[in-house]
Structure 1
Amino acid sequence: MSIALAPLIIFAASQVGTPGPANMALLATGARFGFRKALPFVAGVALGKQLIIWPIGFGLMELAETQPWLFTALKYISAAYIIWLAWKVANLRLNTATSDVGAPGFAAGLIVHPLNPKAWAMIVGSFTAFVGPETATLTATATIAAVLLGCQLILHPIWTLAGDRIAKTVAGTAVEPYLMWTLAGLTVASVLFVLFGGGT
């Protein structure tokens, strides 16, 4: 098996752990609804990446080479969706005790990564940078899937818990709107960086 496992793990942890659309959504959800109520959403976000990994591993990258316009269009549609989510985050307020809106659930979490350009770039980078050409498709895909899921199961709850703790500190204060606009700005910045900066 020709997979650079240790570098792959380091890469995955750095990408999963750093700010991006998914982590901003987790942070905002934890802040708005509390850690415990956000857990179904966290589980959906973690498993949603698998919906991208396996198709990419089993041939979607070949389609990207033959029909690049399709993936360019998908990238911009996804970016528009994430920016729309950022707008919603910017206008959220953290007074959860008075909220009648239910927390987003497992199904809502599942669609976050398929519509996240950072996730696509991260997964494609995992296959192209850390997997040898002679590696069996199933082996490569299963390894990348397991490494990314492991990192997500550790790091996604941390982001959500951070949101919960932030909310307990700033909810109802003058700082609250500035915090939500900052989170939204970071979300938009992360998307623009992936689109135009060549980052993952």
Structure 2
Amino acid sequence: MLTTEWIISFLAFAFSMAISPGPNNLMVMAASSNFGLARTLPHMFGIWIGFFGLLVLTSLGVGSVVKNVPEVYTVMKVLGALYLLYLGVRIAMADNAIESKEARPFTVVEAAGFQLVNPKGWLMALGTASTFAPQGTDPLNYALVAGGFFTLVNIISNGLWALLGRGIAQLLGTPARRRIFNLSMATLLFISIYFIIV
């Protein structure tokens, strides 16, 4: 399975999917700019753990249920969109979030759990399980190998978005600028909902 061609094509797919703007990357960037890189790490760990688990589930056959029963995928899209609406409102309402005791980034468990209703995550996992698994490969072995590669790619991708958020934070010296940034992040999240539903 681990031919040079397979590794190159898989990594190209994984990186193009992982680096593109989506709910995880936008939330990591917003969290990093509002709370700092160190406090955002649990959120990032949760993404890596949750997506790894999602990839194992799809490779072991849960993905075929989602693909073959359109109602299941529709329910997941609606739940994901509603949750993203909630998160977008939460980001938009964050007022000087660094100073607020209630405001915080996702925990490991929250970020991992979000992957179960993250439509982009499901598309990535389904694409990985259906397109790149060689014929006759043991599903669990494939899931572990693909999950390992995808985790490395996600570490790089989320790390770059978190660093971007940290860099932006230096430009957000006033509450008004921070408010504009949070409203912009919420708007981008709302736009991503449109593409998820359509």
Q: Normalization by structure 1: what TM-score?
A: 0.87
2:124 corresponds to: 122
2:57 corresponds to: 55
Shift of 1:173: 5.0
1:15 corresponds to: 17
In structure 2, do the counterparts of structure 1 residues 38 and 64 end up closer, same or farther at CA, with 3 Å as the change threshold? closer
In structure 2, do the counterparts of structure 1 residues 95 and 172 end up closer, same or farther at CA, with 3 Å as the change threshold? farther
In the alignment, is the contact (CA less than 8 A) between 1:117 and 1:191 conserved in 2? no
Cα distance in 2 for residues equivalent to 1:77 and 1:95: 26
Cα distance in 2 for residues equivalent to 1:31 and 1:171: 11
2:29 corresponds to: 27
Gaps of 5+ in 1: none
In the alignment, is the contact (CA less than 8 A) between 1:94 and 1:167 conserved in 2? no
1:120-150 CA-partner distances (Å, limit 9, x unpaired):
0011111222223332212321222112101
Equivalence map 1:160-199=2 (5 Å): 160-196=162-198
Percent of residue pairs identical: 23
1:7-53 CA-partner distances (Å, limit 9, x unpaired):
11111111111110011111111112111122122111221112211
Cα distance in 1 for residues equivalent to 2:187 and 2:40: 22
1:134 corresponds to: 136
Cα distance in 1 for residues equivalent to 2:100 and 2:134: 51
1:150 corresponds to: 152
SS in 2 for 1:49: helix
1:69 equivalent to 2:71? Answer: yes
Cα distance in 2 for residues equivalent to 1:189 and 1:157: 23
2:100 corresponds to: 99
Q: Runs of 4+ in structure 1 displaced over 4 angstroms?
A: none
| Length, aligned pairs only | 195
SS in 1 for 2:117: coil
Greater alpha carbon shift after TM alignment, 22-31 vs 160-169: 160-169
SS in 1 for 2:170: helix
Q: Normalization by structure 2: what TM-score?
A: 0.88
